[in-house]
Amino acid sequence: MSGLLIAVVGPSGVGKDTLLDALARARPDIKVVQRIITRAADAGGEAHLAHSEAEFEAQRAAGHYAFHWQAHGARYAIPASIDADLAQGHVVVFNGSRKALPDIQKAYPGLLVLMVTAAPEVLAQRLQARGRETDKEIGARLKRAELAAPAGAIMIRNDTTPDAALAQMLAVITRATARA
Ligand SMILES: Nc1ncnc2c1ncn2[C@@H]1O[C@H](COP(=O)(O)OP(=O)(O)O)[C@@H](O)[C@H]1O
Ligand SMILES: O=P(O)(O)OC[C@H]1O[C@H](OP(=O)(O)OP(=O)(O)O)[C@H](O)[C@@H]1O
């Protein structure tokens, strides 16, 4: 039996982490991945596993990552332990990178991609409210928001409440697992 791997992608501030937290609460049977990031543990936002550059590189070299990428001056990894979860038939969901998707899809051809969307002015407001980045960093993130939607991605609108977006995600996951 093999499970289903899902990448949740979309521009910075669109609500990926908010929706992943809500998904984990709504569906404890789904494995929502804790990412490894070279970002301080107390930076705010998601509850990632914080590594120094040296720790990250040592873990990568030892084969402990399923895949990894670089963005916003940081490195991000998804642990190799997802392979055991998938082999056991679990649904595994992670916060991914639009830019890194082609490489991830080569390694995991069955990957399902959910692209979270909201209007550009909404992204700016949400990033300001989150307060994790400086104004300059927010500017760079808003520029990257223009990256095209990945081919084949299923759109999830997060332009009203998180609950409304969560309902869309749950419906997509239910359909995808029914097909498998
Ligand atoms: N539907 C929503 N309505 C209002 N605020 C939201 C909504 N979804 C997320 N937010 C807020 O927007 C900010 C960015 O959300 P976050 O989940 O960190 O986005 P991302 O992980 O995509 O960068 C957070 O402060 C979060 O509380
Ligand atoms: O290639 P992109 O789709 O632009 O994504 C680049 C990176 O930015 C996001 O992480 P991060 O936690 O740094 O930012 P976010 O939570 O504000 O999106 C996302 O999860 C990727 O790791």
| Cα 8 from chain centroid (whole Å) | 4
98 Cα nearest atom in ligand 2: 3
- The CA 65 to ligand 2 mean position distance, Å, reads 18
Q: How far is the CA of 137 from the centre of ligand 1 (A)?
A: 17
- 79 appears as a binding residue in the annotation: no
Residue-wise pLDDT for 37-79, tens only, equals 999 999 988 999 999 999 999 999 999 999 999 999 999 999 9
Pairing label, strands 36-37, 112-117: unpaired
ipTM over 0.95? The verdict is: yes
Q: Give the separation between CA 122 and CA 128, rounded to whole angstroms.
A: 10
Element (H, E) at 86: helix 82-87
- Is the separation of the CB atoms in 159 and 119 below 8 Å? yes
How many domains does the chain divide into?
A: 1
Alpha-carbon distance of 98 to 76, in angstroms, equals 13
Regions of the chain with pLDDT less than 70: 1, 180
Instruction: Check the annotation: does 73 bind a ligand.
Output: no
- DSSP code of residue 65: E
Cα 70 to ligand 1 centre (Å): 22
The domain that holds 24 is classified in CATH as 3.40.50.300
> Range of 95's domain?
4-179
Q: Return d(Cα 159, Cα 148) in angstroms, integer.
A: 18
Which amino acid is present at 144?
Answer: R
For the whole model, what pTM was predicted? 0.97
Q: Which atom of ligand 1 is nearest to the CA of 95?
A: 21
Strands 49-50 and 4-9, by their bridges, are: unpaired
Report the distance separating Cα 127 and Cα 115, nearest Å.
Answer: 18
